[in-house]
Amino acid sequence: MQEDFHYYATYCAAYLAGHTHAESLTIAYSAQFVDCCSRSLLDGVKGPDAAATTQAQGELANARTDLLGLQDITRIWASYHFLPAKLTEKYPKFRFKKWLRKYRLICDTNSELLCDTVILAKGASLQARGLAMHVLADTWAHRYFAGTPSFVINNATDFFEICTENGVPVEKTITFNHNPINADDLDEHRYTRSIYVSGENSIMNLGHGRAGHLPDYSFARYKFMPAWGEYNYIYKDNPSDYYHAFCQMVYAMKYLRGVYVNFRTDFYDWDALAVYKDKIMGILEKRQLSASADWKAFGEKLSGQEIEDFNVSKYETEYLEADKEHKDDTFLGKFFLAALAQKSLVTNKIFKSGNRLAGYSVDFEKHGFRGIADFRRLARAKRKEIEQTSSIDLDSIYSLADEKEQELEKHAAKNIDAVNDFINSVKEQEDES
């Protein structure tokens, strides 16, 4: 997905879920920022390296594809863009474990990990909600691809776009070029994708690179042959998938607001959005490289407020000028904590499934700190949260204790006075004797 959906459509979903205009902007900004928070950006603001939620083109071009390099790539792309849906699934074709492990990282909708992702954002910051909405939306756009470099999983061939002419579906052959400078030509059905490299771990075989931006266009209906499916055709209906994503985001954010007690996968807020369906589908099915203007107009009509354009550097100064103790309280600081929490969740789930493609992982809260240094920031934040919660209880306990102590002192004083009176009376009797 692109900025049109991650920013503007997410704003609309947040507002329809009951968030205020300001809250919706924060959620939308955070959702889009997932596609911007690379290590290059983090270096510029002196942020935690492990909070990277994407890799810039230059970073990918220079990325290592040895074991450690592949694990680093997988941690980023599987955690935020290609949420694994088949971690325990068996598939007969991949008899060798290394292929099976990669197959299990294929992204799809309504997985157990999606449920974990949404629940993780419950009670967390608005930045965490936005990040979770990005992950949720991408499960619809990026389904059938894996967030790890793999030729036997992610290679894809024989693309045909399904268009409608005079009310009749027509298949149009899709052609590709490999120059990222060239814009996609929608009229000629000519798109850009990564070059063909048969090397299993080539960065060209990461995610949906071999499908170009087709998964990111809401209007696209097409079929193709994925390598993991033994090159049998799969049909992809983006307008339907994107509408599912939108309705699921509204439902998920209502859950996060407390409207629903539990979050369920494969559940959508159809009824609440029925009145807007024609408008939304009209935006989704319109053939255009970017639907930002249409989503923005829709959002501004909903809220009656102006939606400012996305500015990637908007919160950098606040973070840079904050002292070390308060960086986590800034906008970017909260986003970084949410990113670390999500990466920790997904990496740990992959590791516990017996899969090492995302590296080694432990529950740091249960076993003490081990692993990536930047996750100490997350551990500190959790301890701080616990301490703040505990301090409220401790204050009330201390106050009650003070009252009891004063009460006991009063009783003790009365008792001492009684004892002294008794002793004095005894002494008086002795004197009289």
Residue 133: band (very low, low, confident or very high) from pLDDT cuts 50, 70, 90: very high
Give residues with Cβ within 8 angstroms of 15, minimum separation 6.
Answer: 21, 24, 299, 302, 303
- Encode 20-48 in three state secondary structure: CHHHHHHHHHHHHHCCCCCHHHHHHHCCC
Higher pLDDT, 192 or 425: 192
Quote the CA–CA distance of 35 and 80 in Å, as a whole number: 9
pLDDT of residue 433: 42
pLDDT of residue 111: 96
Residue 245 has pLDDT above 70, yes or no: yes
Under a CB-based contact definition with an 8 Å cutoff, are residues 139 and 85 in contact?
yes
Residue in 327, 310, 309, 305 with CA at minimum distance from that of residue 318: 327
Residue 176: band (very low, low, confident or very high) from pLDDT cuts 50, 70, 90: very high
Kindly report, residue by residue over 275-313, the tens digit of the pLDDT: 999 999 999 999 999 999 999 999 999 999 999 999 999
Quote the CA–CA distance of 325 and 235 in Å, as a whole number: 51
Residue 394: band (very low, low, confident or very high) from pLDDT cuts 50, 70, 90: very low
Residue 93 has pLDDT above 80, yes or no: no
pLDDT of residue 167: 86
Mean pLDDT of 157-166: 93
- Domain boundaries along the sequence of the chain: 3-361, 377-433
Kindly report, residue by residue over 195-218, the tens digit of the pLDDT: 999 999 999 999 999 999 999 999
Residue 103: band (very low, low, confident or very high) from pLDDT cuts 50, 70, 90: very high
Higher pLDDT, 293 or 91: 293
Residue in 279, 323, 169 with CA at minimum distance from that of residue 235: 169
Q: Are strands 175-177 and 190-192 parallel, antiparallel or unpaired?
A: parallel
Mean pLDDT of 389-412: 50
Kindly report, residue by residue over 43-76, the tens digit of the pLDDT: 999 999 999 999 998 999 899 889 999 999 999 9
Higher pLDDT, 21 or 181: 21
Q: What angle do CA 97, 102, 105 make, to 5 degrees?
A: 130
pLDDT of residue 109: 97
Higher pLDDT, 119 or 95: 119
Give residues with Cβ within 8 angstroms of 191, minimum separation 6.
Answer: 174, 175, 176, 177, 184, 185, 212, 213, 214
Kindly report, residue by residue over 319-348, the tens digit of the pLDDT: 999 999 999 999 999 999 999 999 999 999
Determine what percent of the chain is predicted with pLDDT higher than 70. 82
Mean pLDDT for all residues in the chain = 87
pLDDT of residue 404: 52
Residue 419: band (very low, low, confident or very high) from pLDDT cuts 50, 70, 90: very low
Give residues with Cβ within 8 angstroms of 261, minimum separation 6.
Answer: none
